[in-house]
Amino acid sequence: MISVANPQAQVVALRDEINTAIAAVLDSGIYILGPKVQQFEKEFAAFIGAPFAVGVANGTDAVRLALMALGIVVGDEVITVSHSAVATVSAITETGACPVMVDISPSHYCIDVAAIEAAITPKTRAIVPVHIYGQPADMLAIMALAERYDLKVVEDCAQAHGAAIGLQKVGTFGHAAAFSFYPTKNLGALGDGGAVVCKDAAVFDRLQCLRQYGWKTRYISDSHGVNSRLDELQAAVLSVKLKYLESGNGLRRAIAGRYSEALQHSGIIVPKIREGATHAMHLYVVQSEARTELASHLASYGVATALHYPAAIHQQAAYGQKAALSHTEYLYQRLLSLPMYPELGDAEIDQVCLGLKAWNKE
């Protein structure tokens, strides 16, 4: 079966380099927040085009700590989407703020800017747009709105390492941005990892304290903080993999091109890329009213599919919200993810395309 994601494939391809990087950490005797983390933070910030990056334990913490560093506290309202990983909303809730989920654009799947404005109340303090599947949200409109209402913006870039609008990478538009290095992400660690990227030196300082018990200096806490550190092994692996991120994203886009071509005249709706944007193609997600049948059809060709996600967050018990989100709810009956990772071989891509072309023709 051709899987939807395959983090092991990159490890196999880069095994020698990764082994060397791991051995260097083992020999160094430093295992948490050491020189490898500092080196990776610098490299990652440079890749994104931001002045600062702070390594943290995972992407959920990256969203949470970014909000905390920007001053979001108990009782504030934070506007985001229901169409995301639960982590986005969980992170907002962890700060004590109230997540307010709004609808998405039916064509690009990212937060609907008009819906943000309609949801703003006197308690609103921040917006968390999600670059879902690697598709950049409409950041220029979101930042203009944020400025008008004096709101902070934390970009959730967990699925969008290297995505851009024009020449500007996502993660550099908002006041801060959160990245996940979960193993299946476009830049994935061999375990958990995350980073917050920011422009402001004061926010950078706060993040460095926040991720380690609020320490201003060792053992001395100036403010409340948490334990959310990146370890040396993950940072060393991430530095190796970062060198291949841009080429990996290119391969993802080429595979997406092959799928979209195979789906011409199929009645299946393929991903629509925002004009002027570079999609990171973390996931290739199609829309079909017959997605269950499509999934079975592809399975008969040895092609796995997945749902991202099986239930909208506003309809889940933990984060239920009464207001209906019509585009989100409609799309949750129709979206289906196809295999997408850079190491997919030609024969596998051909096999997926064979299955796609045969849809509706049997």
Task: Report how many residues bind ligand PLP under the rule CB under 6 A.
Answer: 15
- Smallest separation (angstroms) from ligand PLP to the CB of 65: 12
Site membership for ligand PLP, residue 162 (CB under 6 A): no
Contact letters for ligand PLP, residues 164-203 (x by CB under 6 A): ----------------x-x---------x-x---------
Report the residue number whose CB is nearest to ligand PLP: 59
The single residue of 36, 152, 169, 185 carrying the catalytic annotation is 185
Pairwise CA distance, residues 69 & 228, whole Å? 14
Nearer to ligand PLP among residue 228 and residue 305 (C-beta): 228
Site membership for ligand PLP, residue 84 (CB under 6 A): yes
Contact letters for ligand PLP, residues 110-149 (x by CB under 6 A): --------------------x-------------------
- Smallest separation (angstroms) from ligand PLP to the CB of 285: 13
Site membership for ligand PLP, residue 228 (CB under 6 A): no
Contact letters for ligand PLP, residues 25-64 (x by CB under 6 A): ---------------------------------xxx----
Site membership for ligand PLP, residue 87 (CB under 6 A): yes
**For ligand PLP, which residue of 155, 156, 231, 232 counts as binding (CB under 6 A)?**
156
User: For this structure, is 36 an active site residue?
Assistant: no
Nearer to ligand PLP among residue 234 and residue 351 (C-beta): 234
Residues of the shown chain interacting with ligand PLP in the complex, contacts defined by CB under 6 A = 58-60, 84-85, 87-88, 130, 156, 158-159, 180, 182, 192, 194
Write out the catalytic residue numbers. Answer: 185
